[in-house]
Structure formats: structure tokens, C-alpha cells
Amino acid sequence: MKQLINLTNHLFVQHQHSDECLALNNVVSQLMLASKIVSREVNKAGLVGILGQTDKINCQGERVQKLDQYADNVFTKLLSQSPYVCAIGSEERPEVTLVENDQTKDRQFIVHLDPLDGSSNVDVNVSVGTNFVIFKKKSTGPTVEKSDYLQPGQEAVCAGYVVYGSSTMLVYSSGKGVHGFTLDPSLGEFILSHPEIKFPTQGKIYSINESYESKWKQTIKDYIKEVKSEDDVSGKAKTARYIGSLVADFHRNLLKGGIFLYPADKKHPNGKLRLLYEGIPFAYLAEQAGGEATNGQQAVLKIKPEKLHQRIPFFVGSKADMQRLTTLLERSSS
């Protein structure tokens, strides 16, 4: 029989069965269970009247999709049931959800997540996903401090995403490389299908919403013009791929090579994407896979978050492509 490695066992083996790994494994198991439940609903959304929008506007000022709300409830509830989670930050909630009880000494992990990234695409059957990052509580007291849930990405102990697409895949890293697991619905297990994923050092793809071109800084205009020509670092013009779902755009570029750009512009002066649960998960994976991620000035993983829903300009991709963009951005700022 072909070797079957599930995510639970993979995490154990990666961390030599350490005690901390037992606790982390429990948190990841809750994330897996929640993602299986969300996957089931996403895959039959058109049949159960869960498509479309609610009458709510979330703390981002965005219309809440029915599946956004559903996914947020499932992930928050299941993470709160872990004896090791003390706080949950969600795109759908203005404040952090504190999981208080009298055994807070065991509650050592904070989880930030976007329960359903790209959800506006669900109604048209485009892949969506769940992005997450896990931090370890640093303060020693019984309560969760702001410094515990506003840590830079370089302090993360685990990060990843689930992409609900032609198959449901969970891609994660706990600091020892990037590994992809495909959900086998007949087993209800995430089985290792993409071990040791590496970002190709340069890519044939560039991803950006070109409808905003008139709002970009000149450097971004110059870079996008360059990648469309033989002046690209690869010596060949890149092809455009942009689906409007970060998790889907990132997953494709991670496997095939390329660069994703969401710059600041006149409409989004600080960028659109959120640092804690969009920037950091993908930046953590990108660096673990040999790629890079910046906000245009510094590595995303070095940014100290000031607010839960802080937005950043976001650039992530293959090393050679990111280094070329960084050179142009540094030159324009000097």
C-alpha cells in the first residue's frame, strides 16, 4: 500500500513527539475538523440555500456572505473547544475572542484566521479558503495581553491555509518546510500529497488587479510593464493570472512560481490585505518554501502589528521576482 501519512502523524514526527507538539497538534486537529465541515458546506453551497449575502456589514466594511458567517462560527467554536487555545482573532469579528476559563495555564496558543478568504467568489464557484496563523502566548500571567495577540509573524509557531477547490487541500508549515495535504473524503483524512513544497526561484506568472493601474505608484507601473516584456528577470514575458481570491492566487503561484502584488493605491492607502490573517500566513509559508514577502519596505514577518485588522501593501512570490521588485522599490525610495 502507498505510504499514507496524515497531518496529525506528520506534525508529531516533525517535532519528535515533544509535549508542545501534543498541544499544537490538538489545535491543528480542531482546525482540520472545522475545515472539513466548511469544505462540506462550500461543496454543496448551491444546494442548501447558503449562497449569497447576509444583510450584515462586517468590521471591514464588507458585505458578509452567508458562508463567511458560517465558517467564522464553525472555526471559532471548534478552536474554543481546544484546551490549549486562549484567544482567536477573526476577520469577521472586530475584537479578539478570549477563551477564558480556570485552566488558562494550559491555554498557550493564539490563532488568527480569515475563516473564508475570497468568499465573494463562492457564488461563482471560484476557489476560496481559510488562512490561519498560530502564536504562542508570551505573557506569564493568567490573562491574554495585547502583546500576545499582536506578535510579528517571525514569532509564529505554525501557519497555513485550506483551499476549497477542485480538491480540499491544507498547506502548512510549523517551521520545518511547507507540506500539502489533500482531503480524502472517503477517509475524512488529510493525506500528505505535496511534501516539501518549494517556491520555484522565478516564475512565469504575475498576479495583480490591473483595473487599479491608474492608482498605482510609478514604480509599480514600471515593474508591471517590465514583467510583460522580455526585460523580465526570466528573459521572457510573464503571463497574467489573477482570480481575486488570495488563497487561490497564492496556491497556484507557490506551485508554479510567480509573484502576487496588492500595492497601496489611492483607493487603499495602506493596501487592502490584512497583516495578521492574510499577510503573515502566506509570508510565513513563502519564506519556508524559499520565496519572499514584503510590504514594499520590509519583510512582512518583521512587521510589528499595531492593530488586529491592520492593512498592508503586500508582495509575495518567487525569490528572483521579489528581489527584482525590491530593487526597483528601494531605488524609487532613495
**Which residue lies nearer to ligand P6P by CB, 183 or 246?**
246
* Residue (272 or 324) nearer to ligand P6P, CB: 272
Q: Shortest gap between Cβ of 221 and ligand P6P (angstroms)?
A: 17
What is the C-alpha separation between 331 and 334, in angstroms, rounded? Answer: 5
Does residue 98 contact residue 308 with C-beta atoms inside 8 Å? no
Least distance CB 57 / ligand P6P (angstroms): 14
Provide, rounded to whole angstroms, the least separation between the CB of residue 3 and ligand P6P: 34
Task: Choose between 107 and 115: whose C-beta lies nearer to ligand P6P.
Answer: 115
Side-chain half-sphere exposure of 215, counting CA atoms within 13 A: 15
Q: Shortest distance, CB of residue 235 to ligand P6P, whole angstroms? A: 28
Closer CB to ligand P6P, 82 or 245, in the complex: 245
Residue 285: closest CA among 206, 174, 195: 174
In whole angstroms, the minimum distance from the beta carbon of 200 to ligand P6P comes to 21
DSSP of 227-285, one letter per residue? HTSTTSTTSSPPEE---S-HHHHHHHHHHH-EEEEE---SS-TT-SEEIIIIIHHHHHH
Q: Given the complex with ligand P6P, which of 23 and 165 has the nearer CB atom?
A: 165
Query: Which residue has cell 502583546?
Result: 147
**Which residue number, 117 or 189, has a Cβ lying nearer to ligand P6P?**
117
Smallest separation, CB 49 to ligand P6P (Å) = 22
Contact, 21 vs 12, CB < 8 A? yes
Contact at 8 Å (CB) between 128 and 248? yes
d(CA 41, CA 67): 8
| Footprint of ligand P6P (CB under 6 A) | 117-118, 120, 209, 244-246, 272
Q: Decide: helix, strand or coil at residue 119.
A: helix
